[in-house]
Structure 1
Amino acid sequence: MPEEEPVNTVVTRLAEQSSIFSSVDPSQIPLMTYDILGQNSEPANFFTVERDTGVVRLARTMDREQICEARRVCQVSFNVAIQAAAVPFSTVASVNVILTDINDMPPRFPARDVVLEVSEGVKVGKEMKISGAVDGDSNPEFTVRHYNTTPTLDMFSIHPTENPDGSSTINLRLEKELDRERKDQYIFNIIAYDGGNPSMSDYLRVTVQVTDDNDNSPEFQRAKYDFSINEDEQIGAV
């Protein structure tokens, strides 16, 4: 069943499970009683059972990532005691519930803003690394799928790479030569999108500050300066 289903959602109807009552006269099935064992502990306390009908329902919502963290298969199990009033019959049924992931967690960048400094003299192709967004959903389809920038950039491009631990790194690549005297700062957003429909997203505000390079020779304001001075001026006079 999907995670985050509402309270009272029907999980199963035990009275309809023929494998439980294969040795019982069908007329006795409506007379059975049902009780969850270990009702006060997890995971049994996520569920309730109607004592006279065997209908199992959710007692509270279930968050797959909280219950199973990053496990590929998320299964919770509990036992239900079943007894007959009129005939000598009792058994314990094991109920196994597999929680499937839904797209309930958006991507999240580790920071809201990042400031990068780059010298105006670096070569085109230089890459600066930025920590990518992380998505807590376990289904790969619902994790971070792509990035883009706003506004659209021509000075930089982004190239994400996936790390062995499942996180990602965004490589911000310089596409054109920088000139601090012409522009000393670039501000833009990197947006991460997951694979849900509709997609969920998060953004990172990036400021690239262009630092000065020693690319301008000193120059006098005039090519020639003329002064006159009296022959009897004191040493040190201005």
Structure 2
Amino acid sequence: MPVPVIPLNAAGLDIENESMRIIDAEVPEPRPFDETQWPVVRRMIHASADFELMDLVRFHPLAVAAALKALQSGCAVITDTRMALAGLSARLYDPLGCQRYCLINDPRTLERANVSGSTRAAAAVDVAAAEHRDAIWVVGNAPTALLRLLELVDAGRVVPALVIGMPVGFVQAAESKQALLENESIASILVRGRKGGSALAAAALNALAGMALQAATKPDPEDA
């Protein structure tokens, strides 16, 4: 297959479109994801150049529909790290009215972590949960954040619209995502095993936000 030559002065969108074309070509149909799931997985592959994600990404059956409904209603989005927060593009979320938060450095989080002896990531979940019962949660780094969120779900303290569970690493990362996968009451998108990261988690939600924004701005055929 000839390697496409992209001019050095090419626009960013041109490069992105060519990247997506290459991904589509390297993962021909039929794919193990439906037409609403594939844009999410493709965006994650684009962010990581990791085609092993084809075997690792798991969707709850209601995940995409739940995400689009929540995003179009202007839901809050909670991330476990500043890095994940930085990866959520304002051009996608501002038009939808979705506020994004990361409370890892919030003074209330620091105080709770000091008192309880928990990680700041877990303490931040408690602080955010008190204010955002039905948010979308984006966990790309901290297994303790995901495990604490699951505890709050079991206790009935939060009812997430969607959980993107992609903590990365060797300690409790795979286990926390397995626990999320086994909780069928939670609409979720996750990466099984040790892989994950803030960039992947943000990419997944960005893909969904793009879909939600496109649907929200699509002209009504009756108005044509």
Task: With the length of structure 1 as denominator, give the TM-score of the two structures.
Answer: 0.21
Higher-RCO chain (CA-CA 8 Å, sequence separation at least 6): 2
Q: State which structure, 1 or 2, has the greater radius of gyration over its C-alpha atoms.
A: 1
Whose strand fraction is larger, Structure 1's or Structure 2's? 1
- TM-score normalised per structure 2: 0.22
